[in-house]
A and B are shown apart, each in its own frame.
Chain A
C-alpha cells in the first residue's frame, strides 16, 4: 500500500517553493524539522516555530550546516496558550515585513503533542486540545490576511489516521470527566479535519463573493496524514508504560523526512490547488472519515471554537 511519491513531482513542488514564505510550527524536531530542512534547501524563506529557545538554536545551526545560504528564522512560542499564539502571529508578521515581503504563501500547522494525564493549560483548556487543535485554528485566523495576499495561499494541517472511528464529544469536548489520552488525541485530529473542511467551504464562499469570474481559487487548506512516523511525540508528557509502547511502535514507522514529503508536495505543487481533495497521505488523496465530512458537525465545532478563542471569523 505504501506507494512512494514520484520523485519528479516532488522535485517540481520543491523548486516551486523557491522564494516563497513558509511558516511552520513545531519545527525543532520530527516531521517539522525535516520539512524545514527540505524547504530551506529549495530556497524558501522558512519561519520555524518552536517552544524552547535552546532547541530552536540547535535546529537553526543544524540547518545552516546543511544549507549555508538557507533563509530561515526561528521564533519561540508556547502554542498551548492562546495569548502566546496571538503574540506569535504579531512576531511572524514583523518577521515577514522585515524580510521585505507582505504575504505568507504556506502555513504548516505541524506542532502536536500527547499527554497521558488530563493537564489543564493556564487558560483552562486541555493540553492536547489546545496545542493540536486550538492553536492551529487561532494561528490560521490571525495569519489569514497575509495568506490571502499571496498569489497562492496554502494552509496545511496535520491530522492522522487516528481521526477515523471517533466522534466529537459535545458534552465534554475536553474530556474533563473521563479523560482517555488516546481518545483525546484522536478527537483533536478529527477536529483538525473538520476545521480544514469548514475552512475550505468558507474560503470558497469568500472567493465567490469577491471574484465575479469563476477563476481558480487561490487559497486552500489541506490535511496531511503522515502515517506512523518515528518521532518523539510519544515521549512528550507520557508515563513510563506509554513511552515503552511508543518506543516499540515508532521503530516500525517511517522516517520524518519521508513523512515530510507530503507537506512539501502540498506546499509546492502548482496543480494541487484545483483539487477538491483535502486529505492527503503519501502525496495521494485519501478519503477522510464520513463523520469528518459532515457539514453540521464542522459548523458546530467551528462556532464553539470561535467562542473559545473569543473571535468571530468574518469572510
Chain B
C-alpha cells in the first residue's frame, strides 16, 4: 500500500506551497479543495514536474455530507497516509456584529469542525510503519485576541490548544503534531495589498510562502510542537507574553483600525520623509 500526504485547501496560496514542497521531496499527494478545475490543473502539473503520484478530489469541507463523501472516497482508494496537512481555513474581516449567521457557521465549520473530523479519520488510515505527521495551520493570531478578526483569532487559538493536547496524547504512537503560526503570508494579490496596508511592520513580519512551507515540514519531521516563521515574529511573541492581554488587544485593535483606514506609514513614505529631512526639501 502506498503512502500519501493529504493536504486540504491545496490550491490556495499556502496549500500550493506545501504541495510543491512535498512533491519536491518525492511524496505522493492526495489533494482536496473546492474547485475541481484548479485541482486538476495543479495535480497534472505536479505529476509532470516532480514525477509523483497525485490524487485529487474536490470537496466543500464546510458541508458535513460532502466531507463524508470525501472520506469514503479516500477509504475506497485503499491507500495509507504518512502525513496530514490541514491548510483549509478562512477569515471574514470586520466587526463581529456585521457577520451573518451563515458566515458564523461557515467559519466554525471550516476552521474547526472540518479540521477535527478529517484529522480523526485520517489518523485511522495512517501508515503504521512510519511516524505520522500532522501539520495544523493556525496563525500568529492564535496567541492574541484580535478585534475585527475576533472569530478567526479565536478559532485559531482553538486549533493551537487542540493541537498541543493531541500531540501529547499521540506521542506514544509515533504521531507528531506541529502547529504553524505564521504572520501575514503574501499568497494572493489581496493578501499582498492587506500586508502593504499594514505598512512597514506588515512587510518586515512577512515571510514568503515557499520558505514557510519548507521550514514547517522540516519542523514537523523533527516533531516540534509549534513553528512561528521569522525571528522577529518569535521575538514579538515572546515579549508580548509579558504584557497584559487587555493592553495587547487594545493595541492590535487600534492597528487594524488604522490599517483599514489606510493611515499607517509605508516604507516609501519613511524613505521619502527621511530624504526630505536630510536634503532640506520642503
Q: Once the chains bind, are A177 and B20 in contact (CB under 8 Å)?
A: no
Instruction: Give the docked Cα–Cα distance between A118 and B42 (Å).
Output: 17
Considering only CB atoms and an 8 Å cut-off, how many residues of chain A contact the other chain?
Answer: 29
Any A CB within 8 A of the CB of B271: yes
Q: Once the chains bind, are B20 and A176 in contact (CB under 8 Å)?
A: yes
Instruction: Give the docked Cα–Cα distance between A244 and B267 (Å).
Output: 10
Q: Once the chains bind, are B213 and A176 in contact (CB under 8 Å)?
A: yes
Q: Once the chains bind, are A310 and B48 in contact (CB under 8 Å)?
A: yes
Shortest distance from the beta carbon of B180 to any chain A beta carbon, whole Å: 16
Q: Once the chains bind, are A120 and B48 in contact (CB under 8 Å)?
A: no
Q: Which residues of B contact A116 (CB under 8 A)?
A: 192
Q: Which residues of A contact B208 (CB under 8 A)?
A: 117-118, 179
Q: Once the chains bind, are B266 and A117 in contact (CB under 8 Å)?
A: no
Q: Once the chains bind, are B210 and A175 in contact (CB under 8 Å)?
A: yes
Q: Once the chains bind, are A310 and B44 in contact (CB under 8 Å)?
A: yes
Q: Once the chains bind, are B209 and A243 in contact (CB under 8 Å)?
A: no
Q: Which residues of B contact A237 (CB under 8 A)?
A: 189, 192
Q: Given A119-B186, A120-B13, A124-B42, is A240 in contact with B267 using a C-beta cutoff of 8 Å?
A: yes
Q: Which residues of A contact B17 (CB under 8 A)?
A: 120, 176
Q: Which residues of A contact B41 (CB under 8 A)?
A: 81, 83, 122-123
Instruction: Give the docked Cα–Cα distance between A310 and B13 (Å).
Output: 23
Q: Which residues of B contact A124 (CB under 8 A)?
A: 16, 19-20, 23, 42, 45-46, 49
Q: Once the chains bind, are A241 and B186 in contact (CB under 8 Å)?
A: no
Beta-carbon nearest neighbor of A126 in chain B: B210
Any B CB within 8 A of the CB of A286: no
Q: Which residues of B contact A123 (CB under 8 A)?
A: 41-42, 44-45
Q: Once the chains bind, are B189 and A118 in contact (CB under 8 Å)?
A: no
Considering only CB atoms and an 8 Å cut-off, how many residues of chain B contact the other chain?
Answer: 36
Q: Given A81-B41, A176-B214, A307-B48, is A118 in contact with B11 using a C-beta cutoff of 8 Å?
A: no
Within 8 A of B (CB), among A101-144: 116-120, 122-126
Q: Which residues of B contact A125 (CB under 8 A)?
A: 45, 49
Within 8 A of B (CB), among A191-237: 237
User: What string of 1s and 0s marks CB contacts (under 8 Å) between B156-193 and chain A?
Assistant: 00000000000000000000000000000011010010
Q: Once the chains bind, are B268 and A82 in contact (CB under 8 Å)?
A: no
A120 contact from B24, B203, B210, Cβ within 8 A: B210
Beta-carbon nearest neighbor of A243 in chain B: B268
Instruction: Give the docked Cα–Cα distance between A126 and B24 (Å).
Output: 14
Any B CB within 8 A of the CB of A308: yes
B196 contact from A118, A240, A309, Cβ within 8 A: A240
Q: Once the chains bind, are B186 and A118 in contact (CB under 8 Å)?
A: yes
Shortest distance from the beta carbon of A175 to any chain B beta carbon, whole Å: 7
Q: Which residues of B contact A174 (CB under 8 A)?
A: 210
Q: Once the chains bind, are B210 and A244 in contact (CB under 8 Å)?
A: no
Beta-carbon nearest neighbor of B188 in chain A: A119
Beta-carbon nearest neighbor of B209 in chain A: A118
Any B CB within 8 A of the CB of A98: no
Q: Once the chains bind, are A177 and B214 in contact (CB under 8 Å)?
A: yes
User: What string of 1s and 0s marks CB contacts (under 8 Å) between A165-191 and chain B?
Assistant: 000000000111111000000000000
Q: Once the chains bind, are B49 and A307 in contact (CB under 8 Å)?
A: yes
Any A CB within 8 A of the CB of B93: no
Any B CB within 8 A of the CB of A239: yes
Any A CB within 8 A of the CB of B96: no
Within 8 A of A (CB), among B189-247: 189, 192, 196, 203, 206, 208-211, 213-214
Additional 17 contacts, C-beta under 8 A, given A117-B186, A119-B13, A126-B210 = A82-B45, A116-B192, A118-B186, A119-B186, A120-B20, A122-B16, A122-B41, A124-B23, A124-B42, A125-B49, A176-B21, A177-B210, A239-B203, A240-B266, A243-B268, A244-B272, A308-B49
Could you give 23 example pairs across A and B, Cβ below 8 Å? A83-B41, A117-B206, A117-B208, A118-B186, A120-B187, A122-B11, A123-B42, A123-B44, A124-B19, A124-B20, A124-B45, A125-B49, A174-B210, A176-B214, A179-B211, A237-B192, A239-B192, A239-B267, A240-B196, A244-B268, A244-B271, A308-B45, A310-B48
Closest 4 pairs (CB-CB, A-B):
A176-B210, A123-B45, A310-B48, A117-B186
- Which residues on A are within 8 Å of B, measured CB to CB? 81-83, 116-120, 122-126, 174-179, 237, 239-241, 243-244, 307-310
